[in-house]
Structures are given as C-alpha cells and as structure tokens.
Amino acid sequence: MPYHPNIPRLLTPGSTYRMAPGTVEYVIERRDLPDAVVPTGHVAVADPLGGASRRLPTPLEPGKYPLIAWVASRRRNGDEMDRRVAALQLLVHDAPVARWELTGAPESLADLGDTEYVGLTVDTGRVAVSDVTALDALSTWDERRTSQTFGVRPGRTDPVPGIVETVVDGTEGANVVAVGSGWGDGVYPVFACFDDTERFTGYVIDFMVVPEP
C-alpha cells in the first residue's frame, strides 16, 4: 500500500523513536501555534518562499482553527542535539485519529506503489498552512518582503524551528503560519484524518523526520 505512517503515535506527546538501542532517540513534543484564520473555508498548504501550493480537498466552516507543531527533540544520551518539526496538524475536531488517508488527485493516488506517496514540494525549508486568500495576498508581495518575513534566521533558536506567523489579508484577517519542514527541502505527504465515527478531524503534514519501526 502507499506510504502509511503511524499518525496517532506521531501525534502523541512523549512518543519516543529510535533506530536501535544506544542510538539517537526522537522524543515528540506538542507545541501549539497561532490559530489559522480561514475566512473562506478553503485551506491550502504551501511553500511560502518557493511558491508551490496544494489546495486541500475538504472545505471547512469559515473561522479559526488550531495549528499544532509536533516537534521531535533529537537526543543522544539524554542531551538534546537539535529539534525538527516532525508534523504539522490543522485541527478541525479535537478527537483521537482512528483513520487517515493520503490526499492527492485520484489519478495520482491510483498509480502509487508500496511505500510511494504524493505531496507538497518544498524548495525553501518552510511549509505554511493558510486560507487560499492569504496565499493570494502573499503572491503579491515582492521577493524582498517575502524573504525578510519567511527567510531562515541564522543563529535563532525557537521551541518550534522556523516558526513565522503574519497576517497578510488585512480585510479578512487571513494569516500565514509557517514552520520549518523537518530536514528541509523535499516532498511531504498530507493526510486527511478521521475519528472512530468517520468524522473528519483535520489534516496532518508528515515531514518524515522520525524513523518508522
């Protein structure tokens, strides 16, 4: 089957991953971010500097939605080496995830082989979740303004690597919330999540940081 990580484990504070005894361990932390302001109900994920974006399939009620960064603290012998965002979650309903499915165009999903996936292409090491109107507004910014807002800041350390939040649509209040994309550039899958009653609970972007069992 296509790539299918253990999403509930990834969304559990204190989950610990390691490849073998005595090696680097990854300990998951929950970090709450500014809410995503979604005036139209249509959400997209994007590389805010590179310009690539994907509109997500399920429309939401206009409003504000919690965003959560699931951060992996990478440790050796108990000492933290660095921190990487392992997943970014847009929460629509606060319920345990019971089922999750890869998002994408039906024709692209149909051709996937074992462990394959489709996702958002990232070229600048940052991923954002926002209303589509915020991305439209962001596209009007010049390169200097975009780079000053979302560019990497050498020497800066934050509990959530790469965190940036800015309001880009002053009329509707739509904002762009961005975080560092795990190891950096790559293609990252987006999963639609559901609870045990099949109610849609939100989206999770997996940055493929933690080792799978």
User: For residue range 150-183, what is the model confidence (pLDDT) as tens digits?
Assistant: 876 665 667 999 999 999 877 788 999 999 999 9
Instruction: For residues 47 and 22, give the distance between their C-alpha atoms in angstroms, rounded to a whole number.
Output: 36
State both tokens at 184.
């950096």
Cα distances from 104 to residues 10, 12, 109, 178, 201, in angstroms, run 21, 25, 6, 21, 17
Q: Counting beta carbons within 10 angstroms of the beta carbon of residue 47, is it exposed (0 to 12), middle (13 to 18) or buried (19 or more)? A: buried
Residue 148 has a pLDDT of 86
Model confidence at 23, in pLDDT bands (50, 70, 90)?
confident
The pLDDT assigned to 150 comes to 83
Q: Decide if 191 contacts 202 (C-beta within 8 A).
A: no
Give SS3 for 31. strand
Residue 213 pLDDT greater than 80, yes or no: no
pLDDT at 8 > cutoff 80: yes
Q: CB-side exposure of 174: number of CA atoms within 13 Å?
A: 23
pLDDT in tens, 84-103: 999 999 999 999 999 999 99
The pTM is what?
0.94
Out of 48-52, 131-135, 191-195, the most confident range is 191-195
